Chain A
């Protein structure tokens, strides 16, 4: 009985939270067209996001490409399909593995960073101080950060894809003596526009979701400094969930259009 009640409560708070988040997104779309745009802060955020995640995303991408190829190679040889390896690896990476891994890393790194930063600004009244200094804090802090993640995460994904393919090429080169030109000829023959376009499009939504959740959590942070840690944590969990939901939706939609 108690479990049931808990279940109902969590459903209710989930719906409430979703509504609030939608409302927050609505405010973003209202204020994003409000002149003047905070270019300087936007540029600073873009730099910050890139700088913060570039290395991590690159290393992860490289290792994924390497390991993925190492793991599939024996099976492909057994099936006599080792010539297909570059196409298989590149399609998996570009369609799914690159976007989702990068988005999850960014949810952990950028989403929590934004949540903690805005959260601590909220509880130490820095956001209020901005407001009395003739600044709209939503526009200055939230709009710039959401736009920055929306722009930067697709770029990070593309870079991660490239590094992962390079990692995969290294394995092929060392183990199978495949040349650079041959490998990437195979890759580019395999990848179609219909692989690349939806996969890239969805990463803009991932970026938007990560920025949105981080900002939402931080902007409404409560309960003093102890709340900041919880806020950062909740931002990661919710941003990751949202990324999975968006990914699933994207795959469904792509499936309808391509079949």
Chain B
């Protein structure tokens, strides 16, 4: 059904072992342009490891990763940095730099990727634009410790958005938040997807989030791509391993 759409990320037979613990075992998937792909799996099933391999934070032992037509394994450092401006990463715990203010947090990637953006004098307009798109313009001069968990998550999203990425990887964006805040974050993700036309991979345990946001879903079980399909398709499945994720 996706044959007419362009894949932006292709993962083929990805394997990763820690000691003698085989976390990923020939995992294969594709992400198509403009879609939101949700990946679900039990805690410890290797979702974070997979997404970290994808952005080159972790080396894999086998398989092939292609991002926007470029092979990650044969890429030099400059190309990898270039790719990292196109692929935003939202970390599981927000990962705001707690020694820096919100403004400095947002300026950091902008100034660091200066090869791409050139020297930026006053970055305030860009910072404000990113903050406004997550609805937190008033927090610009606060420190991370003054923010609530939900606000931190939004600031982290703003920090990702400031580079105007084409792809966003979300690692459990709603974990640790109350249901109402989770809902807000999910709505925000949807609106970002619509405004910026990004493609995204969303890792989550949250079935409600998945139903709302997923164009397509993958279940990561025992290190492989166990099942793939829309929310409805998977929800209808009789397989007990799949059912375990959807039972109310």
Contact = CB atoms under 8 A, between A and B. Distances in A.
Interface of A: 117, 120-121, 124-126, 128-135
A134 B92 contact: no
B54 to A, nearest CB: 11
Contact of A129 (B81, B97, B99): B97
Looking at chain B, what size class is its interface with the partner chain? 20 to 34
A3 to B, nearest CB: 29
A47 B230 CA distance: 55
B112 interface: yes
Nearest to A133: B109
Interface stretch (B23-31, B83-91, B118-126, B197-205): B83-91
B97 A125 contact: no
Contacts of B108: 130, 133, 135
A134 B91 contact: no
Contacts of A133: 84, 108-109, 112-113
A221 B112 CA distance: 25
B57 interface: yes
A1 to B, nearest CB: 29
Chain A interface mostly:
helix
30 contacts: A117-B99, A120-B98, A121-B97, A124-B93, A124-B98, A125-B91, A125-B93, A125-B95, A126-B95, A126-B97, A126-B98, A128-B91, A128-B95, A129-B89, A129-B95, A129-B97, A130-B112, A131-B57, A132-B55, A133-B84, A133-B109, A133-B112, A133-B113, A134-B81, A134-B85, A134-B109, A134-B112, A134-B115, A135-B108, A135-B112
B88 to A, nearest CB: 8
A212 B55 CA distance: 29
Contacts of B84: 132-134
Given A129-B89, A130-B112, A131-B57, 8 more contacts: A120-B98, A126-B97, A128-B91, A129-B97, A132-B84, A133-B112, A134-B109, A135-B112
Contacts of B96: 126
A141 B93 CA distance: 20
Contacts of A126: 95-98
Nearest to A140: B112
Contacts of A121: 97
